[in-house]
């Protein structure tokens, strides 16, 4: 496998990987749609899924399900599944971008402080507009929080007009902790809504509707596509900023733009789902281990892998302790951390041989 990737071109690698992953994604969706807080027979769920295929669906299947089942599947499970898919993809791409940009395997929306910044903005918006007023100002505040954080981190790391990568991570950790302290402060000020806000912070996809999907879809997809468009520049940046400069990359400009975009998709993901950790950190690593570090492959494959990972994690979250449910962030960390540890060990061994 490792030897293989040297010989196969990036287009072929991307093509094969995407094909395989699309299949896995489809299977994940088909399995996950059959599970939920209530039991709907898998055949009914699949029939209903089939029914929604444009043109051919209604030809194939006569609706045989109740109105209630229809609401559960079309208005609860399906949007939740798609939202999980979108958020997972965004976090995967944001993680890959931060890691590539900062040339640091520990970079992800969390470690760089952007998630916490977005969360501070989101919580301020929630407290300002009152609990339960829908999306409202949350994404805008989350975006402002994320941008403020990344700017702060960036400025802090900027020494003599240059941004050193090591300092960037360090200042990310510093600003991130600062943001977390603001969060804690805000929480003590909202005692009567504490439970709801904390639960939201832990990351959850429960009780999200089509509104959330429709709202975040265009921005997230556009953000991810533009990042992919800059994959070659990311590759060049991986060789070092000086080399990239020599290769004709407008380093500072590209860096600023990509930091902005990665923060944007993080902020949007946070505003619809709270802070879900470990997707952005783990997913790009797994992909890189299998397919190599080429960002032209890494970015889209991370998107699909993140998507699959989060759908599966959310399925565990909503079925494991039904009728109650776990915050999905708990599941991603619980599953992600040991898996990540295993990968690190495995990689270390194979490298030392």
Residue 50 touching other proteins (CB under 8 A): no
**Residue 107 CA: distances (Å) to CA of 96, 110, 112:** 9, 8, 6
Q: What is the DSSP letter of 65?
A: S
Rule CB under 8 A: say whether 181 interacts with other proteins. no
End-to-end CA distance of the chain: give it in Å, rounded: 16
Q: In angstroms, what is the minimal distance from the CB of 324 to other proteins?
A: 5
Give the CA radius of gyration of the chain.
Answer: 21
Pairing, β 158-159 against β 162-163? antiparallel
List for the chain the helix, strand, coil content (%; round to 5). Answer: 75, 0, 25
Contacting other proteins within 132-151 (CB under 8 A)? 132-134
Query: How far apart are the C-alpha atoms of 142 and 344, rounded to whole Å?
Result: 33
Q: Report, in Å, the least distance between residue 1 CB and other proteins.
A: 41
Q: Which stretch binds other proteins (CB under 8 A): 68-76, 100-108, 217-225, 307-315?
A: 68-76
Q: Contacting other proteins (CB under 8 A), which of 207, 242, 349, 351? A: 207
178, 199, 215, 340: which one binds other proteins (CB under 8 A) = 199
Per the CB < 8 A criterion, the answer to whether 126 and 197 are in contact is yes
Binder among 19, 22, 27, 38 for other proteins (CB under 8 A): 38
Give the range of 23-31, 121-129, 163-171, 286-294 binding other proteins by CB under 8 A.
121-129
Q: Does 190 bind other proteins (CB under 8 A)?
A: yes
HSE value, Cβ hemisphere, 13 Å, CA-based, for 154: 19
Q: How far is the CB of 26 from other proteins (least distance, A)?
A: 22
In DSSP notation, 154-172 reads: HHHHEETTEE-HHHHHHHH
Contact flag: residue 352 with other proteins (CB under 8 A) = no
Q: Which is nearer to other proteins, 138 or 258 (CB)?
A: 138
CB of 323 to other proteins, least distance (A): 5
Per the CB < 8 A criterion, the answer to whether 302 and 92 are in contact is yes
Task: List residues binding other proteins (CB under 8 A).
Answer: 36-38, 68, 71-72, 75-77, 126-128, 130-134, 188, 190-193, 195-196, 199-200, 204, 206-209, 211, 318, 322-325
């Amino acid at each position: 496998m490792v030897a293989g990737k040297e010989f196969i071109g990036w287009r072929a690698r991307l093509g094969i990987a995407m094909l395989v992953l699309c299949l896995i994604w489809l299977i994940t969706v088909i399995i996950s749609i059959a599970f939920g807080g209530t039991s709907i027979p898998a055949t009914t769920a699949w029939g209903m899924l089939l029914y929604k295929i444009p043109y051919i669906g209604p030809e194939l299947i006569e609706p045989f399900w109740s109105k209630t089942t229809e609401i559960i599947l079309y208005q609860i499970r399906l949007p939740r599944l798609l939202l999980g898919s979108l958020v997972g993809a965004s976090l995967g791409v944001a993680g890959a971008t931060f890691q590539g940009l900062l040339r640091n395997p520990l970079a992800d929306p969390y470690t760089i402080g952007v998630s916490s910044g977005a969360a501070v903005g989101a919580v301020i918006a929630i407290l300002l507009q009152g609990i339960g007023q829908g999306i409202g100002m949350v994404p805008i505040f989350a975006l402002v929080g994320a941008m403020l954080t990344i700017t702060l981190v960036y400025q802090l790391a900027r020494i003599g007009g240059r941004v050193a990568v090591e300092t960037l991570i360090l200042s990310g950790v510093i600003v991130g902790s600062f943001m977390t302290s603001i969060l804690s402060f805000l929480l003590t000020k909202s005692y009567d809504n504490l439970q709801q806000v904390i639960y939201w912070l832990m990351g959850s996809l429960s009780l999200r509707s089509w509104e959330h999907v429709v709202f975040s879809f265009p921005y997230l997809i556009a953000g991810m596509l533009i990042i992919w468009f800059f994959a070659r520049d990311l590759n060049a940046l991986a060789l070092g900023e000086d080399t990239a400069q020599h290769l004709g990359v407008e380093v500072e400009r590209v860096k600023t733009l990509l930091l902005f975009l990665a923060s944007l998709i993080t902020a949007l993901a946070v505003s619809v789902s709270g802070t879900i950790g470990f997707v952005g950190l783990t997913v790009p690593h797994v992909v890189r281990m299998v397919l190599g570090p080429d960002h032209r492959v890494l970015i889209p494959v991370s998107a699909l892998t993140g998507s699959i990972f989060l759908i599966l994690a959310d399925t565990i979250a909503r079925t494991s302790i039904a009728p109650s449910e776990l915050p999905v962030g708990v599941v991603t960390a619980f599953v992600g951390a040991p898996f990540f540890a295993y990968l690190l060990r495995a990689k270390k061994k194979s490298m030392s041989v």
